[in-house]
Amino acid sequence: MRYVDLTRSVGPLEFTHITVATFGDRAKLIEVLERNNPGRRIRVPRIDFTNHVAYLVAAGPRSSTGYVLEIVRVREEGDRVLVVVHERTPSLGEPVRARVTYPFRLIVLPRLDKPVKLKWPGRP
């Protein structure tokens, strides 16, 4: 299934805990982004919420720049849409900087009136 990754266009955001949510309108998306990033300027590109939904998955704080969330695949599975995410972790000797980071992905999916479910191997 095709999706658009808006992560870079919204800029660096911080989510202090694991966050997974689907948004059917702009106001709710902005409310969650602002609640998790008080005082930060939030840039959300135009999204056609008539035909699309936004989907957010955030890992919470990590200890270095080596952590990255990757969308492995998005597919329609029967009565749901499945988003599979992989968290890439740094290996020993990898050149990363020690600082707190907040890996996340914000994607836009076609509106199918089916629940969007997350599969994140290694996470409950």
Which residue's entry shows tokens 């990255």?
A: 68
Q: CB pairs under 8 A, 24+ apart, for 121-124?
A: 121/84, 121/86, 122/87, 123/18, 123/87
To the nearest whole number, what is the mean pLDDT of the chain? 95
- pLDDT digits 0-9 by tens, 92-114: 888 899 999 999 999 999 999 99
- pLDDT digits 0-9 by tens, 67-97: 999 999 999 999 999 999 999 999 888 889 9
Exposure of 33 by Cβ count < 10 A (0-12 exposed, 13-18 middle, 19+ buried)? buried
CA distance linking residue 12 with residue 99, whole number of Å: 14
Q: Is the pTM of this model over 0.85?
A: yes
Exposure of 68 by Cβ count < 10 A (0-12 exposed, 13-18 middle, 19+ buried)? middle
